[in-house]
Amino acid sequence: MRVFAIADPHLSRVHPKPMTIFGPAWQGHPEAFFRGWREVVGPEDLVIVAGDISWAMRLAEAIPDLLDLASLPGRKVLLKGNHDYWWPSISRLRAVLPEGMYALQNDALVLDGVAVAGTRGWEYPPKTPEDEKIFAREVERLGLSLKALKGQPYRHLVLAFHFPPFGPGGEASPLLEMAAEAGPSAIVYGHLHGADPERLPQAYRGIPLHLVAADALGFRPKPILEV
């Protein structure tokens, strides 16, 4: 099994939203996203989709996008992004997810010896008192996600965030510190559009850091592990 990651699909089947307004890197979206996925992912693979899945505002509007994702090869683990306003309570979401599609929220998942944990994250450093509250809550949620792994055997751990777990100068946030203490094989994140991956931190305490925003990857999920 191979583990891939990609973030920011920004799908919008019900109310189409052209992504080219965000730059030429989005030319051909969303077809390029589906084509790139099919070119690299096999049926037994696992793909972490690290947030900003759909522009929908309600779950019913997001379901066509979720079904489009479900039709692609591989098993999928979904993480909430800052634009996923459609994301309801986790129990309601899990009740409608197709087979082979999983959603993380304050917990973790183990598939074939690979553990996936994480949380959305938030901008760091926080700019306002409200941002500070949100960031502190995300730290708590990462703690809950990691706690959910206690007692579960696994060989590899991948930690996923939507926001990068570091500041604009590459400074480590409390989320990154907590993540590193868990000893993951890799950390993945999205959210940054138009960023040069080569100018971003590549590792922290020897743990690889992967920017997996769809436009940064040319819409091809990035291989993270092979087990």
Contact residues for 127 (Cβ-Cβ < 8 A; gap 6+):
none
Global pTM exceeds 0.75: yes
Q: Which residue has the tokens 């900003």?
A: 52
- Determine contact, residues 138/131, Cβ cutoff 8 Å: no
Rounded Cα distance, 52 and 79, in Å: 8
Q: Which residue has the tokens 């809550």?
A: 137
Q: What is the pLDDT of residues 112-139, one digit of tens each?
A: 999 999 999 999 999 999 999 999 999 9
Residue 204 pLDDT exceeds 90: yes
Range of the domain at 189: 2-226
CATH code at 35?
3.60.21.10
Rounded Cα distance, 161 and 123, in Å: 11
Q: Which residue has the tokens 């992504």?
A: 19
Strand ranges (DSSP E) for the chain? Answer: 2-6, 46-50, 75-79, 101-103, 109-111, 114-119, 156-161, 186-189, 203-204, 207-211, 222-226
Q: Select from 49, 39, 86, 42 the least CA-distant residue to 64.
A: 86
Rounded Cα distance, 5 and 220, in Å: 9
Residue 62 pLDDT exceeds 90: yes
Q: What CA–CA distances, in Å, run from 214 to 94, 95, 107?
A: 24, 27, 25
* Sign of torsion over alpha carbons 174, 78, 17, 219: positive
Predicted local confidence at residue 198, as pLDDT: 86
Residue 158 pLDDT exceeds 90: yes
- How large is the greatest C-alpha to C-alpha distance in the chain, in angstroms? 47
Residue 108 pLDDT exceeds 90: yes
> Domain tally for the chain?
1
Secondary structure (3-state) at 66:
helix
